[in-house]
Amino acid sequence: MALPNTEEILEDIDFFDDWEERYKYIIDLGKELETMDEALYTQERLVKGCQSNVWLDVRSEGDLLHFVVDSDAIIVKGILALVMAAYDNKTPAQITAFDVDGYFQQLDLERHLSPTRGNGLRAIVAKIQAVAQAAQHA
């Protein structure tokens, strides 16, 4: 099953009455992430600033950037799925133009994350946006 897009995620999240149900949904999304090849679990791919271990790999496929991500924490994998819905298989211009803050506000996510998880989320987004910006200027 492919990950839903950001609009579908926002609709789905809105359907749930409480955050316990939303967390379950987010964790289930994380289970749908593409499996990362063992060889990609390297120090260079670790995202700095995350409480949990988060690995990020990117490759260009034509004009699109394709990301493969993983974490050793199940809730973080779910959060990564939310981020991938926004950024995976998009052009660098689409990635840099996407209103990620507005998306996170609509999800009401950061209010429900610990400060360290929130910092990790921002570190992941910053890393992806930096990759997209570099690809735009390459």
Annotated catalytic residue: which of 50, 56, 76, 131?
50
Does residue 121 contact residue 110 with C-beta atoms inside 8 Å? yes
How many of the other CB atoms lie within 10 Å of CB of 18? 7
Tell me, yes or no, if 50 is annotated catalytic. yes
- In angstroms, the Cα distances linking 136 to 66, 69, 93, 113, 130 are 14, 21, 7, 32, 10
- In angstroms, the Cα distances linking 41 to 19, 63, 70, 72, 85 are 31, 25, 9, 11, 22
- Cα separation, 38 vs 90, in Å, equals 25
Say whether 49 sits in a helix, a strand or coil: coil
| Residues involved in catalysis | 50
